[in-house]
Amino acid sequence: EAQVTQNPRYLITVTGKKLTVTCSQNMNHEYMSWYRQDPGLGLRQIYYSMNVEVTDKGDVPEGYKVSRKEKRNFPLILESPSPNQTSLYFCASTPSQTTDTQYFGPGTRLTVL
Amino acid sequence: QKEVEQDPGPLSVPEGAIVSLNCTYSNSAFQYFMWYRQYSRKGPELLMYTYSSGNKEDGRFTAQVDKSSKYISLFIRDSQPSDSATYLCAMKAPQGGSEKLVFGKGMKLTVNP
């Protein structure tokens, strides 16, 4: 089944404890993105990647890191999480630069205490 | 002025009602328009995609684009309880890939049986 998977789905952590949210897609898509979704603010892009080893900042990159060492994986790293990073996070993939349809993962609900 | 404005919700309607969801935008470069549907505890999924002015119909759903007024709408006929979800508009200009996609904040729709 073609899909985008994220792990974990739910995470409660404390301020300053490094964490990684994994994202994997099995559709051989070039483009991958991370979004956060907050009430009243909608979906905001954190980082995106156009292909392996090519990443760039989205609208709200502060406090986040990403890497794209393999085409299928695009982990989101929070080196020192803070409470304002409490949010619902979505990973998405798109077949190519010329395709606009985004395929979203199921989401990761993160709470930073 | 934000690039994309979406009618605030939430919206609650009885089963069978016609639902109209709307977004306005300020960037005249936007040429591609999408509607995503997001069920509770799920990632958004593409519902409708259009790139021209006028109407596009898919079953009970009709996407309407008026580029002269910078206004897009999604109509749902004979609404069903299964249509209860958050609906997000999204749009982009021809240049760039999915990193240029701009989302509305979303409207939560509840269809009551």
Q: Which pair of structure tokens corresponds to residue A16?
A: 């300053």
Q: What is the pLDDT of residues B20-43, one digit of tens each?
A: 999 999 998 898 999 999 999 899
Work out whether the CA dihedral A88, B29, B2, B62 comes out positive or negative. negative
**Surface-to-core class of residue B43, CB atoms within 10 Å of its CB (0-12 exposed, 13-18 middle, 19+ buried):** buried
Residue of chain A whose Cα is closest to the Cα of B51: A100
CB contact under 8 A, A43 and B92: no
Interface contact flag, A104 B44, Cβ < 8 Å: yes
Peptide bond into B10 cis (omega under 30): yes
Mean pLDDT of chain B: 92
Residues A96, A107, B102: CA angle, nearest 5 degrees: 50
The per-residue pLDDT for A72 is 97
pLDDT per residue over A10-58, tens digit each? 999 999 999 999 999 999 999 999 999 998 888 999 999 999 999 999 9
Q: Do B97 and A45 touch (CB under 8 A)?
A: no
Among A7, A49, A100, pick the best mutation site for testing chain B contact (most B Cβ within 10 A): A100
Cβ separation A102–B88 shorter than 8 A: no
Check residue B8 and report its DSSP letter: -
The confidence band for A2, taking pLDDT boundaries of 50, 70 and 90, is confident
Q: How many CB pairs under 8 A join A and B?
A: 63
**Local confidence band at B7 (pLDDT 50, 70, 90 cut-offs):** confident
Percent of chain B clearing pLDDT 90 (strictly above): 74
Give residue-wise pLDDT tens across range A60-113.
999 999 999 999 999 999 999 999 999 999 999 998 766 778 899 999 999 999
The DSSP output letter for A71 is S
Integer angstrom CA distances of residue B55 from A113, B61, B76: 47, 10, 13
